Copies of this chain bind each other. A is one copy, B any other.
Amino acid sequence: MPHFLNTQDTDFEARFVELLAMKREDSPDVDHIVAGIIADVRARGDDAVLELTAKFDRMDLTADKMRFTDAEIDDYCSQVSPEDRQALNLAATRIRDYHLRQIPQDQMWTDMDGATLGWRWTPVSNAGLYVPGGVATYPSSVLMNAIPAKAAGVKRLAITVPTPDGVVNPLVLLAARIAGVDEIYRIGGAQAIAALAYGTQTIPPVDKITGPGNAFVAAAKRRVFGKVGIDMIAGPSEILVIADKNNDPDWIALDLLSQAEHDESAQSILITTDADFGTAVAKAVDKRLETLERRAIAGKSWADFGAVIVVQNLDEAATLSDRFAPEHLELCVDDPDELSLQIEHAGAIFLGSYTPEAIGDYVGGPNHVLPTARSARFSSGLSVLDFMKRTTLAKMTPSALAAIGPAAERLAKSESLEAHGLSVRARLDRLNGDHDE
């Protein structure tokens, strides 16, 4: 049974706060193990990576076998059915079209003082993408990480994907090829993150690492942050659906279950203006759970973290949603565009009953790597900007320096940074000398 709340209940606020604060992540403390792995890879390079791969993935590799050859990739790709290939291509095209629009503009202008100012965006040169292996290996995540990188202009994009016991997912390799990935290595875990960050004899280091992974991968990303850039550390997935009674309860049930089936720690919440509709959705969830393949996972997630919240009106729904700052927000109401204007904090919004969240996971176009655990209050989904950086530019003419230099000198003095002031003063003196003498 999920949690049932009604804003009219006297204990509503307390229960809502409890729901907000629910600790959903069970992250074992693996930091000391990961620190050892990183130190080992830094010290011994390939040898360390190969030993760890033998140990954790039961794969006896040699350095020259770490990277998939083009022929191997060809071979795996040829195993993909035409239907799957077509679906991947459609997804890739739509994701690429969306992300190419995110490429930011450079700007440069000259102000009234004669100072020319601006900025210029450039891509990260080398990026690495971690792809989980085994059960939770998702070709869609390859597209969602690799396509923005390539759209940004990343020259060299490397993937690491573990192949425990030699198991390879051909769809992952095909997705990488479609996205234009340059190198694919069959390694994983913290050792893959260390190899990407510090480089080995075989794997040149990268500047930025993105992609999801288990607790070891997440801890390793935290540790190498600073040496390289990283994306967010993603938590369990979550969805919030705001739906009025004019919806098919089964559709909404399936949308809630499509998050719940990810992970026992996932969270699915329905906010509705109609209590009977809420009950109907909960019933529809139970019915679907009878036959769902991943019913064990989805059922536990729904029972532990699922919630149905009955509100008086849509304004109340929007306010509560903003307090959750959900990763995914579906607005299944008459005028979803209007309601969306009231939302300040959400990773992605799906407008209307014909936009199930699953569309966004695969083929909509927007990225499916989104801020979890209320971090949409301060962060955004993955985008082209994650693979670019901005250099600011400033150019003074002598007269611009004469206009604004004295203020800089004054502030430098107030901060007791004498050389700062002198570097301006020396130039101003020359200008005064040129003009006055």
Contacts and interface: CB of A to CB of B under 8 A. Distances in A.
Contact of A378 (B104, B208, B294, B424): B208
Contacts of A392: 347-349, 360, 366-367, 370, 381
**Size range of the interface on A?**
35 or more
Interface stretch (A36-44, A60-68, A254-262): A254-262
A395 B90 contact: no
B254 A405 contact: no
A343 B390 CA distance: 12
Interface in A314-346: 336-337, 340, 343-346
Nearest to A336: B395
A171 interface: yes
22 contacts: A94-B404, A111-B365, A117-B366, A125-B344, A125-B345, A139-B415, A229-B375, A251-B426, A340-B393, A343-B391, A345-B391, A350-B394, A354-B397, A356-B424, A356-B427, A359-B405, A361-B408, A362-B407, A364-B396, A366-B394, A377-B389, A383-B390
A7 interface: no
A358 B391 contact: no
B359 A87 contact: no
Interface in A61-120: 83-84, 86-88, 90-91, 94, 97-98, 101-102, 104, 107, 109, 111, 115-117, 119-120
Contacts of A257: 419, 422-423
Contacts of A423: 251, 254-255, 257-258, 356-358
Contacts of A228: 378
A87 B411 contact: yes
A265 interface: no
Contact of A97 (B111, B353, B430): B111
Nearest to A365: B117
Contacts of A226: 233, 373, 375
Interface string A236-257: 0000000000001011001101
A286 interface: no
A345 B122 contact: yes
Contacts of A125: 344-345, 377
Contacts of A233: 226
Contact of A363 (B336, B397, B407): B407
Copies of this chain, count: 2
A433 to B, nearest CB: 12
In the A-B complex, list the 10 residue pairs whose CB atoms are closest, starting with the nearest.
A229-B378, A366-B392, A351-B395, A254-B423, A257-B419, A87-B407, A358-B420, A87-B410, A380-B390, A362-B408
B378 A419 contact: no
B414 A261 contact: no
Given A377-B207, A378-B228, A394-B351, A258 B419 contact: yes
A412 interface: yes
Given A350-B394, A383-B390, A418-B293, A401 B362 contact: no
Contacts of A193: none
A190 B124 CA distance: 33
A394 B336 contact: no
A235 to B, nearest CB: 8
B394 A294 contact: no
A246 B371 CA distance: 51
Given A364-B394, A408-B361, A401 B355 contact: yes
A260 B411 contact: no
A406 to B, nearest CB: 8
Nearest to A364: B394
A354 B396 contact: yes
A86 to B, nearest CB: 7
A346 B394 contact: no
